[in-house]
Chain A
Amino acid sequence: MAETNTATTVEFELVSPQKLVVSEPVEMVVVPGAEGDIGVLPGHSPLIATVRPGVIDIHEAGKVKERIFVGGGFAEVSPERCTVLAEEATAVGDIDRAAAETRLSDAKQVLEGADEGATAEAERQIAIAEGLLAAANGASAGN
C-alpha cells in the first residue's frame, strides 16, 4: 500500500446492507454520482458523494467488464480505495424487467395515495424503479 501513487488499480468495494457485493482491485470504475457520473482512477482525490440510482461500470483494459445497478447510496473515494455503500445492488444482466415494471407501477400507486410525509419515499422508489428499467433497456440495447 506504500506505493499507491504508482499503483495501476484502485480497491473497489461495493457493499449493500445484506452483503459485500464486490471487493476487488479494478483499473477504473464509473459511479453514478448525484451530480454527475464520477470516474475513479487510482490516485483520485478524497471524495464523498451521494449516489443516484444508476449503473456502476467496472472497466478493465479499456473495456467495461461488469455492470451493476445500484439503487442509490453513498460513495467514498480515497487515492487507493473506492467504497460504494448501496441500498441495493443487482448485476445488470440479472435485472428482472417484469419485476421492475411492477415495482414502478406499485410505487406510482403509493405516490398517488401518499400523504405529505410518505411522498419523498415513494418518489425515491419510483426513481429506483425507473433506473432499474433504464438499466435493463440499456443492457438489451447493448447486446
Chain B
Amino acid sequence: MANLKDLKIRIDSVKSTQKITSAMKMVAAAKLRRAQESVEAARPYAVRMERMLGSLAQSVGGTEGAPKLLAGTGNDQTHLLVAFTADRGLCGGFNGSIVRQTRTMANELKAAGKTVKIFCVGRKGHDVLKREFADEIIEEIQGLGRRSVEYHEAAGVAQSITKLFEDEAFDICTIIFNRFQSAMTQIVTPLQLIPFEPAVSDEAEEETADEGPKAVYIFEPEEDEILAELLPRNLAVQIFQALLESSASEHGARMTAMDSATRNAGDMINDLTLTYNRTRQAFITKELIEIISGAEAL
C-alpha cells in the first residue's frame, strides 16, 4: 500500500509545479498582449514598404546593373537560412517546429547539391541545430527582444546579413520564423529576402498587363539611388517584422503550453488526492478491524 506520507509529498510538489506554470501563463499572457499590439502596429509599415519596393522593382527590375540585393548574384549555389527561435524553452512546439523546418529545408537543398549556411537567431535553435549542422552554422545571435523587440536590434541583424552578402558568403537568403496567427496557432513561414521577390500575385500582374503601364513614377533622386537606400532598409524592416511576429508567437505558444500544463497538474492533483483519501480510509478501516477483532478475542 502506498505510503500516506509519500502521497502527501507528491501532492505538494505537483501543487507547487502548478503554481509555477500558472504564474508563467499569466506572465506570457501579459507579454503576449504587448507583443501582439506591437506586431499589429508594425504591419502597416512593412506592407507599405513592400508595396513601394514592388513598384520600384517593376520599373528597375530586368535592367542591367540593378542592385544585387534586388537582382541576386545570378547564382543559386549557396543558400543562407536564418532561423528565428526563442532564447527560452517551455513554449510547446514553438522552437521545435522552426528547427524541423530548417532541418528539412537544409537537407532538401543539400540533396539538390547546394551549399547550405545557417544563421541562428535565438539560443534554442542554435542548441539543437549545432548537433546536426555544426559546420553549416556561420553565425548566431542571442538575447534579442528580452523586453520588447527594438528596431535597432533588427537593423543589427540586417547589417550582419548584408555584410555576409557583400562578402559573397551566400547567394540566396531565406528567413524562417513563426508568423503569429493567434495565441493557439503559429505558422512556420519561410520568406526569401535576398534577392527580393516582389509579392505580386498573378492576378495583379495580369491586371497591369491589361492596362498597360499603369503608374509611371517620377523618381527623386534617381531610381538606383532610392533603391540603394530602400533595399537595405527593407531588409531591416522585414527582419524587424519577423522578430516581432516571432516574439508574439513565442509568448502565445508559451501561454498555451503553460495553460495545458496547469490543467494537467490540476488533473494530477485530483487523482492523487483521491488515492490519498482512499488510502487513508482503508488505513482507518484496517485499524478499526484490528481493534474490534482484538476486543472480540477477549
Q: Bound state CA distance, A38 and B218, in angstroms? A: 12
Q: Is B48 an interface residue (CB 8 A)?
A: yes
In the complex, are the beta carbons of B52 and A49 less than 8 A apart?
A: no
Q: Does A48 touch B at the CB level, under 8 Å?
A: yes
By the criterion CB–CB under 8 Å, are A46 and B218 in contact?
yes
* A interface footprint on B214-254 (CB within 8 Å = 1, 0 otherwise): 01111111000110011001000100100000000000000
Q: Are B216 and A46 in contact (CB under 8 A)?
A: yes
Shortest beta-carbon distance from B96 to chain A in Å: 30
Asked if A47 and B217 sit within 8 Å, CB to CB, the answer is yes
Q: How many Å from the CB of B98 to the closest CB on chain A?
A: 23
Contact across chains for A17 and B240 when beta carbons are under 8 A apart: yes
Q: Which of B41, B45, B218, B221 contacts A34 (CB 8 A)?
A: B221
- Using Cβ atoms and an 8 Å threshold, which residues of chain A touch B220? 33-35, 38, 47-50
Given contacts A15-B48, A18-B42, A19-B41, contact A50 B217 (CB under 8 A): no
Residues of B within 8 A of A33 (CB): 220
Q: Contact: A17 with B151, CB < 8 Å?
A: yes
On chain B, the residues within 8 Å of A109 by CB distance are: none
Does B78 lie at the interface of the complex (its beta carbon under 8 Å from any beta carbon of A)?
no
Report the separation of the CA atoms of residues A20 and B37 in the bound assembly, to the nearest whole angstrom.
12
What residues on A are CB-neighbors of B51 within 8 Å?
A: 76
Task: Tell whether B279 is near chain A: CB-to-CB under 8 Å.
Answer: no
A15–B40 Cα distance when bound, in Å, is 13
Chain A residues with Cβ under 8 A from B52's Cβ? 48, 74, 76, 83, 85
Give the B-binding residues of A (Cβ under 8 A).
Answer: 13, 15-20, 33-35, 38, 45-50, 74, 76, 78, 83, 85
Q: Is the CB of B45 within 8 A of A35?
A: no
A15→B216 contact, CB < 8 A:
no
Residues of B within 8 A of A34 (CB): 220-221
A47–B220 CA distance with the chains assembled, in angstroms: 8
Question: Is there contact, CB below 8 Å, between B230 and A19?
Answer: no
> B233 to chain A: which residues have CB within 8 Å?
74
In the complex with contacts A17-B45, A18-B42, A35-B220, A50-B225 CB distance below 8 A: yes
Q: Are B221 and A47 in contact (CB under 8 A)?
A: no
Q: Which residues of A contact B41 (CB under 8 A)?
A: 18-20
Shortest Cβ distance from B47 into A: residue: A15
**Chain A residues with CB below 8 A from B144, complex form:** none
5 A–B pairs (Cβ distance < 8 Å), ordered by A: A20-B44, A47-B220, A48-B52, A74-B49, A85-B48
Residues of A within 8 A of B48 (CB): 13, 15, 76, 83, 85
Question: For B273, what are the chain A residues with a Cβ–Cβ distance below 8 Å?
Answer: none
Q: Are B151 and A18 in contact (CB under 8 A)?
A: yes
In contact, B226 and A48 (Cβ under 8 angstroms): yes
Q: Which residues of B contact A18 (CB under 8 A)?
A: 38, 41-42, 45, 151
CA distance A50 to B231 in the complex (A): 12
For window 46-88 of B, CB contacts with A under 8 Å fall at 48-49, 51-52, 55-56
Residues of chain B lying within 8 A (CB to CB) of residue A20: 41, 44-45
Closest to B43 in A: A20
Is A48 within 8 A of B151, CB to CB?
Answer: no
Inter-chain CA distance A49–B222, complex, in Å, is 9
Residue of B nearest to A38 (CB): B220
Whole-angstrom CA separation of A62 from B49 in the bound complex: 31
A48 in contact with B229 given A18-B38, A19-B42 (CB within 8 Å): no
Contact digits for B133-166, partner A, Cβ 8 Å, 1 yes 0 no: 0000000000000000001000000000000000
B residues in contact with A85, CB < 8 Å: 45, 48-49, 52
